[in-house]
Amino acid sequence: MSKTEREKMAAGDWYTCINPELEEMRITARNAVHEHNTLPPAHRGNIGPQLKTLMRTVAADTWIETPFHCAYGFNISLADGVYINAGCVFLDTAPLTIGSDTMLGPAVQIYCAQHHQDAEKRTAGLEVALPVTIGRRVWIGGGAIILPGVEIADDSIVGAGSVVVKNVPAGARIAGNPARPLAKPVR
């Protein structure tokens, strides 16, 4: 029996994202995100109720500012004390895990989806989902982009506007496009 596109996505195999089952899940996520983004803060709390229910795991003291966008939601795990500033985008086609006491600046983008390099296959919706893991006590500056498959270890700092294309070791300070280690701390 062949795998469904969702099963292929979950297994880290190439799959077609242009698919009715996946589209239904994206619609569910869009509805949850819409609720989160439009509820008055007093009614929303730290995270909108639908969005909180949709996510894999989310600690009670995690905070997501509005606006926020995610592709599916169910692949997102947020630990204690995570703060996600306004305008962040998570394309969570694979597990996206953020460790405790990590802060994301405004407009941080985290991508798990990697599209095929062959134009015809890419046009047909072929992509692969690669997990992104961000450790504890990490600070990611505003406008940074984290690419598929990247791991950022504990206590690291990613400078604003950086494009992170490879793994970041614990305690590192990186910045740039592509992001590179810095000799001096990020200011």
Q: What is the DSSP letter of 170?
A: T
Whether 115 sits among the annotated catalytic residues: the reply is yes
One DSSP character per residue, 78-128 reads: E-TT-EE-TTEEEE-SS-EEE-TT-EE-TT-EEE-EEE-SSHHHHHTTEEE
**Are the beta carbons of 82 and 108 closer than 8 angstroms?**
no
The residue from 34, 43, 69, 115 that is catalytic is 115
Q: Would you please indicate which residues are annotated as catalytic (active-site) residues? A: 115
